[in-house]
C-alpha cells in the first residue's frame, strides 16, 4: 500500500523497469516462451499501477492552504 509521494515515485520506477524487461524479452523469446514469462510480470505491473491510481485518487490527509 502506497502512503507517500516517494513511494509513488518508487512504484513508477518499478513499473518502468518491468516494462523495459518485457520489451527486451519480446526481442529474444519465442511467442510461447514470452507468454509464459510475461504473465507474472504483467500481473505485477497491473497491481503496482492499481496502487498508484488508488494513492493518486485518495484524499489528502492535510488540505492545502488557500
Q: What would the mean pLDDT of 3-27 be, rounded to a whole number?
A: 97
> Comparing 65 with 28, which gets the higher pLDDT?
28
Cell numbers at residue 39, please? 504473465
pLDDT tens per residue across span 23-57: 999 999 999 999 999 999 999 999 999 999 999 99
CA atoms of 62 and 66, how far apart (whole Å): 12
Question: 65 by DSSP, 3-state: which?
Answer: coil
pLDDT for 59: 72
Confidence band for 64, pLDDT divided at 50, 70 and 90: low
Q: Quick one: cell of 10?
A: 518508487
CB of 36 within 8 A of CB of 30? no
Residue ranges of domains in the chain: 5-55
* Across 4-29, average pLDDT: 97
Amino acid at each position: 500500500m502506497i502512503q507517500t509521494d516517494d513511494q509513488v515515485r518508487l512504484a513508477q520506477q518499478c513499473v518502468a523497469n518491468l516494462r523495459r524487461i518485457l520489451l527486451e524479452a519480446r526481442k529474444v523469446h519465442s511467442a510461447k516462451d514470452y507468454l509464459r514469462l510475461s504473465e507474472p510480470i504483467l500481473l505485477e505491473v497491473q497491481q503496482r499501477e492499481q496502487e498508484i491510481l488508488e494513492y493518486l485518487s485518495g484524499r489528502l490527509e492535510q488540505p492545502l492552504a488557500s
